[in-house]
Amino acid sequence: MADHDEGKDDESEAVVEQRIYGCDLIEEASIHLELPQVCAATAQTLFHRFYARRSFARHDVRHVAMGVLFLAAKVEESPRRVRDVLNVFNALFQHRDDGSHALEPLDLNSERYLRMKQLVVGVEAEVLTELGFLLYTEHPHKFILNYVRLICPDPSLEQQLAQRAWNVINDSARTDLCLRFAPEAICCAAISMAARALRLPLPTQPPWWEVFEVAKADVDRVSGQMADLYARPKAQYRDLKTKRPSPAAGPGQG
Amino acid sequence: MAGKRSRWEDSDESDADARQSVGTPIARRARDVASNSNKQADGAARAPPEHAGALPAELGAHVRPPPPRKAHLAASFTGKPLPVLAGCRSVDCYERLRKIDEGTYGIVWKARERATGEVVALKQIKVLRGQEGFPITSLREINILLALDHENIINVREVVTGGGADQIFMVMDCMETDLKAFMAKLKDPPAPSEVKSLMQQLLSATAYMHDRWVVHRDLKTSNLLFSMSGALTVCDFGMARHYSDPIKKMSTQVVTLWYRAPEILLGSQLYTQAVDMWSVGCIFAEIISLKPLLPGQGDIDQIERTFKLLGTPNDTIWPGYSQLPNVQKGRWRTYPYNRLRDTFCKPSFAGGPAPLTDRGLELLNAMLTYDPERRISARDALAHAYFREEPPPKPMKLGPMLAAAAERGAGAHRAEPDSPPIARANGASPETRRS
């Protein structure tokens, strides 16, 4: 427990970027691993919970992304082998770093494979203790269909509205909103943004968010942060470890 | 986990070592933090204590506090409000008192929290660290128990770790005894009102977890803890898991033999939460008669006994029966009748009232229905007329003498078969074998 006093990062530009980058990675990898979407969402939540207590400078997003996805797949009853997880991430790293499609598969007997494997299992154990084994999550997705059915003025637009809100919620997982707002609030903000994009007025008498016990201020704050997210360019990987070089350098790094 | 060995790693019972660490800085800090958090309002009381070395102030500002429980959240899987993030504390926050029980699943200790003096039960999770990291079976148990919040389900306060990464303990409320040990000390079966109280509590817990898509898969009397005041709590979720709709294939190596539903015995992998209701039915009968309903010796004998008591099923009463794997494999004797009424509704030899009323028999029969589709659900069972007829449920209180005699693990013989063993780490994909 040596580095418990490492402190929290400021949400500096670099940290925000690495947060988004890590979540991008999780989502891409979960698609390649053919995992249900809930696994990616759970992994991203675990990712944010972990970094609420630990520092980006000390824990490489690439390693943590691998570890939390590996763990989340088990939590959501769709376990994947370490080997498959590593292979997918390995390919993603190569592709991201030099854009190459000529991928070099991992040699299962290599020193590097063993090192990466230890790394993933190690991150998993660290996440578990760091979160006190609190792995259960509640995702905003769950509320969409009910909410939309209740408030959408035009039944023919219900599906479109729900789909757009669903996309916003998926994107919201790139931020640490899940730590600071109830899933209901995030869901309301997503519906509000989706409705605006569709130019669809929602009931105001009484204000629709109040039906779901969500405060207007929360909807606005979540929407604001989502707008910031959409204004950003694609996040790139950066090694934030300044002092000590990574002992088990991830694939394709440096 | 900086290589510090926990006191709990030594398995000898002497706790002289453990006492010394009261004074270590981490234990002192934990005590301070814990006593602080005890002063807080009850809303925070259920949240796990802050990590000894954490940064409570900053975290409190950063992470949203647990929201108040809302009605529409209650139907979700996560019954508990989002907890304040806190890392695992060290097992050295607890002082080991004595071993309560040791089974295939690991060891349960009685322990005292140093900071508060509260007595708790510590269950060591077996972590068979294989090729695939933290085993999914252990993960299920911890994750499910931390997410469930019901007065008749064992409350897990926190998870603590020892020195090694393999040392993981669940800290739970300590209960006086379990139903099996307790019933072994009873001379006469419980009164009808007491049976009702026990069944109501058991069904209420079962309904709660089934509402949240959790199936227990090892309900039996020794997994029902029992307190002085007559409160019953379901424990040992080592075999529990989430299920989904449509159902996926699950392992048939689940549920202790005597409580195993016929569809599992006959090899179906596509079973549902109805397997728990079969076990509940077996427990119901066991409470009434103080002896196990179907104490089979091996799988074949278990099926034979089931058929003998309830009649051999067929495709009429159980559509799809003849297609089950083990029905096609074996030839089963034909027993034409269901003998539950003979067993439970006859006046006793001495002329006393029958152990079960007609309503009670109706409920028992509904639980021990062959066709899992038609087997009664926990919710429907709770609403059954049996619970409304006279006499009303009354908690079964333990006298102090009985409590002492029946204390858990105090010589309670385990005549029943063990829970099926958890798949060991060998071969390609050990953690996924039990699914």
In this predicted structure, what is the pLDDT of residue B349?
66
One-character DSSP codes across A32-56: HTT--HHHHHHHHHHHHHHHHHS-T
What are the tens digits of pLDDT across the range B314-345? 999 999 999 998 888 878 888 888 888 888 88
A244 in the Ramachandran plot: left (φ > 0), alpha (ψ -120 to 50) or beta? beta
- CB < 8 Å from A in window 22-41 of B: none
In this predicted structure, what is the pLDDT of residue A137?
85
* Any domain includes A4: no
How does residue B40 score in pLDDT terms, banded at 50, 70 and 90?
A: very low
B28 versus A80: the higher-pLDDT residue is A80
Q: B432 contacts in A (CB within 8 Å)? A: 79
Do residues A207 and A160 both lie within one domain? yes
Distance in angstroms (rounded) separating the CA atoms of residues A45 and A50: 9
Average pLDDT, whole number, for chain B? 76
How does residue B103 score in pLDDT terms, banded at 50, 70 and 90?
A: low
Average pLDDT over residues B201-206: 97
Do residues A182 and A207 both lie within one domain? yes
Do residues A120 and A192 both lie within one domain? no
Average pLDDT over residues B112-132: 84
Residue count (chain B): 435
Of B77, B139, B168, the CB nearest to A74: B139
Confidence check: pLDDT of B366 > 60: yes
pTM across the whole model: 0.76
Q: Is A217 on the interface with B (CB under 8 A)?
A: no
Lowest mean pLDDT among A213-222, B97-106, B117-126: B97-106
Do residues A111 and A193 both lie within one domain? no
What are the tens digits of pLDDT across the range B369-423? 999 999 999 999 999 999 999 888 988 877 666 666 666 554 444 467 777 765 4
Cβ separation A125–B131 shorter than 8 A? no
Lowest mean pLDDT among A119-133, B228-242, B368-382, B395-409: B395-409
Confidence check: pLDDT of B429 > 70: no
Cβ separation A125–B133 shorter than 8 A? yes
In this predicted structure, what is the pLDDT of residue B85?
63
Domains, in order of start, for chain B: 15-36+56-173 (3.30.200.20), 177-409 (1.10.510.10)
Average pLDDT over residues B33-47: 36
Do residues A34 and A128 both lie within one domain? yes
What are the tens digits of pLDDT across the range B166-189? 788 999 998 888 899 888 888 888
> How many separate domains does chain A show?
2
B92, B178, B218, B236: the active-site residue: B218
Do residues A65 and A23 both lie within one domain? yes
Cβ separation B85–A181 shorter than 8 A? no
How far apart are the CA of A94 and the nearest CA of chain B, in angstroms? Answer: 24
Cβ separation A121–B53 shorter than 8 A? no
Cβ separation B67–A182 shorter than 8 A? yes
Do residues A178 and A91 both lie within one domain? no
Confidence check: pLDDT of B271 > 80: yes
What is the CATH classification number for the domain harbouring A156? Answer: 1.10.472.10
Judge whether B361 and B341 are in contact, CB under 8 Å: yes
In this predicted structure, what is the pLDDT of residue B84?
54
Do residues A108 and A205 both lie within one domain? no
Laid out side by side, the sheet with B106-113 consists of B89-90, B156-161, B168-173, B119-125, B106-113, B94-103
Of A74, A132, A136, the CB nearest to B48: A132
Q: Is A4 on the interface with B (CB under 8 A)?
A: yes
Average pLDDT over residues A127-137: 88
* Any domain includes A89: yes
Confidence check: pLDDT of B248 > 50: yes
Distance in angstroms (rounded) separating the CA atoms of residues A39 and A78: 8
In this predicted structure, what is the pLDDT of residue B311?
93
Do residues A160 and A131 both lie within one domain? no
How far apart are the CA of A132 and the nearest CA of chain B, in angstroms? Answer: 4
Confidence check: pLDDT of A127 > 90: yes
One-character DSSP codes across A81-116: -HHHHHHHHHHHHHHHHH---S-----TTSHHHHHH
Do residues A100 and A210 both lie within one domain? no
Do residues A95 and A214 both lie within one domain? no
Q: What is the DSSP letter of B291?
A: S
In this predicted structure, what is the pLDDT of residue B131?
75
Q: Is B78 on the interface with A (CB under 8 A)?
A: yes
Phi, psi torsion values for A53, nearest 5 degrees: -115, -20
In this predicted structure, what is the pLDDT of residue B11?
44
Q: A179 contacts in B (CB within 8 Å)? A: 62-64, 85
pLDDT above 90 covers what percent of chain A?
39
How does residue B23 score in pLDDT terms, banded at 50, 70 and 90?
A: very low
Do residues A18 and A129 both lie within one domain? yes
Of B76, B143, B161, the CB nearest to A75: B143
- B218 catalytic residue (yes or no): yes
What are the tens digits of pLDDT across the range A2-57? 344 455 556 687 888 899 999 999 999 999 999 999 999 999 999 999 998 888 88
In this predicted structure, what is the pLDDT of residue B362?
94
Alpha-carbon distances, residue B407 vs A162, A215, B395, B410 (angstroms): 55, 51, 19, 6
Burial of A167 by CB count in 10 Å (0-12 exposed, 13-18 middle, 19+ buried)?
middle
Task: Give the range of the structural domain holding residue A79, as residue numbers without chain letter.
Answer: 13-136+236-245
* Any domain includes A192: yes
Bridging pattern class, strands B156-161 and B89-90: parallel
Of A8, A81, A129, the CB nearest to B87: A129
* Any domain includes A183: yes
How does residue A80 score in pLDDT terms, banded at 50, 70 and 90?
A: very high
**Coil vs helix vs strand at A23:** helix
Distance in angstroms (rounded) separating the CA atoms of residues B200 and B104: 29
* Any domain includes A1: no
Q: How many CB atoms lie within 10 A of CB B114?
A: 20
Q: Locate the chain B residue with the closest alpha carbon to A120.
A: B133
Q: B62 contacts in A (CB within 8 Å)? A: 8, 52, 179-180
What are the tens digits of pLDDT across the range A176-197? 888 888 889 999 999 999 998 8
Of B86, B88, B131, the CB nearest to A82: B131
Average pLDDT over residues A112-116: 89
Cβ separation A1–B54 shorter than 8 A? no
Cβ separation B139–A138 shorter than 8 A? no
